[in-house]
Each structure stands twice: as C-alpha cells, then as structure tokens.
Structure 1
C-alpha cells in the first residue's frame, strides 16, 4: 500500500486492488485509529480523514502497520435484493447482448456481487461481479428521472438506484427494498465489501 497526503488533514491510501481496499476499510471500521474522523473507500483507494491537529506522519505509519482481516465481508451471508424483472431496457439489453430476455435475467440473478464502493448519490452501491456477457454501455441519452428502486447495469457494474434521480444505466427491473433510510443506523443498506444477490420476485 502507498500512503500520500491529501490536504492538511487527510491521507489517501492507494491499495493494490479492490480486495485490499475493502480489507483496509473493514479494519478501520472495526478498530478506528485515534484521530480518524472519517473513512471514505473507493475502488482501489481509501481516504482517511483526520482531526485538524492530527500527526499525519504518525498516522501514515500506523496505517502501513495495520493488520488487515482476511476477508472484508467476513462470514456474513449476502444481502438479498428482491427484483421484479420488468425493466424498460430489458429487451434492449437482450438485443445488445444477443441473449434472450430470460437468459439476461438468469445471468443477472445467478451472480454474487460485491459492493465496490458507494457514490453518485447516498446509498448508491457500485456492484462488481456482473456476468461479462451482460456488459453494455450506458444509454446515449440519460433519463431525466429514474425511479427509486430501479435495478440497473452499465459497463461492468450493477446497481440499484436508492432514490429517484437522473441516470443513464440500463434498467432491468425494480425492487421495493429501501437502500437508503435516514432513520436507519447506518442509513445505507450497502457498504463496501458487502456481498449482494438479486432474487427474482416474479418469473420474467
């Protein structure tokens, strides 16, 4: 791991891969270091935000010596997200991939995904593990509003829109599960390193 300064009160840890970034995030979440006020994981980076008076040199040294767990997800079972596969782009994805509508659904629900990181909007998890046969580009013209709960794919990621927002991902279906709830602790259902499975509510 490489640790570099990111302003006057933060360090950016550059990890070798996604798994290492997740393990570091898990270690900092489970055993917070003194002076650390926030941890923001990315796909191959972890931003460690410290108190203004923190000694960043000492913190960097502690980060490089931090013992990482073997598996960021631990023994936790994957979070199951129930999906009704009736998305507006399901037929288009089938055409783009050369698969049948049913095969698109089968491949999407057969995979076990990992939350790479959260971004775009609160609770929006970028999920890796999408079947390579389903990798399609974003729409040329994004929608001005995608309903909350929309299950979507784009490039090598899958996701569920936690709230209504503009978006250009291809919509495969919808879920009634709330991914972001300010009354919940923590508000986001998903967190980096967590495993996810999509479970069909209806036959396609």
Structure 2
C-alpha cells in the first residue's frame, strides 16, 4: 500500500494496479476503517485505490500549523485496527430488458463469445456483482463479477449518445449508464430504474460496496416500470 499526496486537501492510497476482487475488497475495508475512525475524512473508493479528502485545518499541530505527519500517523493507526465498524452491504435487484432496441449489441456479444442469446443473458444474470466504484459519470457503477466468457472489447466507434439505463459490457467489466451519455461499451439491455437523481438526498441509487443482481424482464414490464 502506498500513500500519495494529490493536493493540499487530498491524498491517495494505492493498493495495486489491477482490477481484482481481493484488491477491491481491501479498498472497501480500508474505507470502512478510516471513516469509522477519522471524523471529517471523505473516502472515495476506486478499483485499486482510495481517495482521501480532508480539511487541512482539522490537522493542526500545537503551534497552529498544518501537520500532515499527524494525519499520516492517524491514517496508519486506523488501518492497523483489528476491526472496523462496517455498514452492512445492500443487495439490490436491477430489472433489465435484454436485447432488441434495449440491447442493440446483444447479438454481437453472442457472436463474439460463441454463445446463444439465451446463454449470454443467463450468464449475465447469474452472478452477484459488487459495485467496485462509481466513476466516468455521476452514478455510473463499475461492477465486479462478470463471467469471463462474456468479456468483449469496446466498440471501435463509440456512440455519441447511449440511452439512460443501458446495461453494457466493456472488456471484462459490466456497468449501467445512469444518463444519456457518449460511450463505447457493448449494449445488451436496459433497466427502467433511475440510477442518478441530483435532487435526491442520495443522488446515486447504487453505492460502492453494494451487491447487485440483474433480473430479466420483458418489454411490457419495462414499459410499465418506466
């Protein structure tokens, strides 16, 4: 683990440089330890790193000067604790209408993976995914747990606008577009749920550490829920 200063009010903890379930679990564990021990420190997890945001004025020494050494020692002490107050992770069911206009690239994914459409859908809905991080755009969840058989390169020519709610595969990852956005991932379905609402108390429906399962719905159910 490496501690890297980014700005006068931000540091980065690096745990590795790969997309890995165990590394990401360490990131979330560290976030839980730090948030339960260090008041006023904001933790923003990524795949293999943890952004720490803080108010430098909270870390003054006896002479009234900002003491980054004091903050570093507090971070190390928190990470060495034998237990942490962890918030129980939520499990959310995300309804998805697969294929057709909702998932224009499903046939391409099936052809690339040499699987039937039904098998692609079955393999995509089988795992319980973890929200490894939010990024790219507000509320966009990067989900760990994709069946390796479904891995597929991004499109050679990204779309200028991907519909809100689109469920997609990009490389070895799957995710959900929270708004209409440019994007190059392969679209396999769409959810009627609103993933990001800036007016809500919690703008993002999904949070880092949440568990996610996809559930198949048909076009009629999709329209009913929209």
Length-normalised TM-score, structure 2: 0.82
Q: Unaligned stretches of 5+ in structure 2?
A: 17-22, 60-66, 220-226
Partner SS for 1:111: coil
Specify which structure has the higher proportion of helix: 2
Please identify, of 124-133 and 6-15, the stretch whose mean Cα deviation from structure 2 is larger. 6-15
1:21 aligns with 2:27: yes
1:39 matched to 2:51? no
Residue 104 of structure 1 pairs with residue 120 of structure 2: yes
Larger Rg: 2
Structure 1 residues 115 and 102, CA, compared in 2 at 3 Å: closer, same or farther? same
Q: Spell out, residue by residue over 1:10-47, the C-alpha distance to the aligned partner (whole angstroms, 9 max, x if none).
A: 22112251111011223344x262342x3221111111
**Cα separation, 1, equivalents of 2:85 and 2:180:** 33
C-alpha separation in 2, matches of 1:71 and 1:131: 31
Contact 2:33 2:84 in 1 (8 A): no
Residue 80, structure 1, aligned to residue 96, structure 2 = no
- State the number of aligned residues: 200
Distance in 2 (alpha carbons) for counterparts of 1:42 and 1:88: 29
SS at 2:136 equivalent: coil
Distance in 1 separating the partners of 2:216 and 2:157: 28
Tell whether the 8 Å contact from 1:27 to 1:68 is kept in structure 2 after alignment. no
What is the aligned partner in structure 2 of residue 62 from structure 1?
74
The separation in 1 between residues aligned to 2:186 and 2:114, in whole angstroms, is 15
Ranges in structure 1 where 5+ consecutive residues have no aligned partner: none
CA distance in 2, matches of 1:176, 1:35: 36
RMSD value, Cα: 2.1
Give the 3 Å change call, closer, same or farther, for CA 71–79 of structure 1 in structure 2.
farther
Higher relative contact order (CA 8 A, sep 6+): 1
CA distance in 1, matches of 2:205, 2:124: 20
